[in-house]
Amino acid sequence: MAEQLARLRRGDVPTLPDGPQAHRLMALLPGEVRATPHGECFVVVHRYDLDARHGDRPLLAALERAGGTAAIAGGDADLRTFDLRRALFVDLETTGLARAMGTLPFLIGAAHVAGDQLVLEQWLLRDPDDEPAALADFGARLADADHLVTYNGRAFDLPLLQVRYRGLGLGDPSADLAGHFDLLTAVRRLLKHRLPDCRLATVERHLLGLTRVDDAPGSEAPRRYRGYLFGDDPAPLLPIVAHNRDDILSMVTLVDALLDRVERVEGGVLHDPDCALGLARQAERAGEWAFAARVYAAAASVPEAAERARRGAQRVARRVARERPS
């Protein structure tokens, strides 16, 4: 395996799209071959109706959420115009964890709402030579979105994609995004005190009522893809594709779980004052001063939160005073 890894880093890998190995993979994963100006790419497509569920929540319940709540949950004013129908959920499986040209995103998963369905697409590289075509096809989807949604994508997925696009001379389809909702940042700021850790699998169990069975961890992805490239049975790649799909479905559902907390925060101050104060701080980051002031006022009557609420209310009052026209 060490020699295989060295060969992969050198780019010394077999060309597979027309070979038996790629055909075996496509037979195991029904999908479609798409033509682009940069060649062909292989895409697996899933469709979910509006009444589908993931864990114990409706998959697309966030479609009914009030506008503007994403800015508070995400602590980012760029999310004030967030609309689930114009968002793209993205997750990558890669050959490593470096954000450089030596790391190949061999599986790009993305989901968007189209009409009355959630469409989840997965661009799987049958061979590294498929990458320009896959990035071009995925890039058209990304360029059409208003907001990107990821789980730790601000630190890893998006920077890696930008490196790959620049390195291949394909431009940057993320350049015109209105904003980026990184759900890991929101979970850490709002719910870290309630969770053993902030891994997505942990969040699924505690917030979404979901425990995966026979899940292949993402850490297995590089080894399994390298094995496929060098002639192993492609079947071990299937659980990686399923893992990527489930990550994206969990992100879609998690958006609703977070926005639900924004809508219920004032009534839930007594139940979870730490989360409520976290949301008030997020509201401050987004410039949502009225929301923050209401939460701090409600939290002032909770003994364990009173001092933090008092300091927060003072911060908001000073900021509002500075912004008030003289």
| Nearest Cα residue to 226 out of 58, 320, 94 | 94
Q: 36 Cβ partners below 8 Å, 6+ apart?
A: 132, 133, 136, 137
Over the stretch 218-240, which tens digit does the pLDDT of each residue have?
A: 889 999 999 999 888 899 999 99
The rounded distance, in Å, linking the Cα atoms of 90 and 219 is 18
- Of the pLDDT bands very low, low, confident and very high (cuts 50, 70, 90), residue 19 is low
For residue 242, what pLDDT is reported? Answer: 95
Q: What share of the chain is helix, strand, coil (3-state, %, to 5)?
A: 50, 15, 30
Task: Give yes or no for residue 112 having a pLDDT over 80.
Answer: yes
For residue 68, what pLDDT is reported? Answer: 83
Beta strands at 147-150 and 179-182: parallel, antiparallel or unpaired: parallel
> In the Cβ-directed half-sphere of 158, how many Cα atoms lie within 13 Å?
20
Which residue ranges make up each domain of the chain?
2-264, 265-326
Return the higher-pLDDT residue of 247 and 232.
Answer: 247
Question: Could you say which of 3.30.420.10, 3.90.226.10, 3.20.190.10, 3.20.20.210 is the CATH number of the domain covering 2-264?
Answer: 3.30.420.10
Task: Kindly state the greatest CA–CA separation across the chain.
Answer: 74
User: Taking residues 115-140, what's their average pLDDT?
Assistant: 96
Q: DSSP states of 256-282 as a string?
A: HHHHHHHHHTTTTTTT-HHHHHHHHHH
- DSSP summary character for residue 165: H
Torsions phi, psi for 293 (to 5 deg): -65, -40
For residue 168 the two structure tokens come to: 């291949």
Buried b (16+ CB within 10 A) or exposed e, 51-76: eeebbebbbbbbeebeebbbbbbbbb
Over the stretch 56-93, which tens digit does the pLDDT of each residue have?
A: 999 999 998 877 899 999 999 999 999 999 999 999 99
For residue 5, what pLDDT is reported? Answer: 45
| Nearest Cα residue to 179 out of 275, 105, 83, 52 | 83
> In the Cβ-directed half-sphere of 206, how many Cα atoms lie within 13 Å?
15
Task: Give yes or no for residue 289 having a pLDDT over 50.
Answer: yes
Q: DSSP states of 66-114 as a string?
A: PTTHHHHHHT-GGGTT--GGGEEEEEEEES-S-SSTTS-EEEEEEEEEE
Dihedral angle, C-alpha 50, 56, 61, 62, nearest 10 °:
-130
**Average pLDDT across the chain, whole number:** 91
| Nearest Cα residue to 73 out of 189, 154, 152, 155 | 189
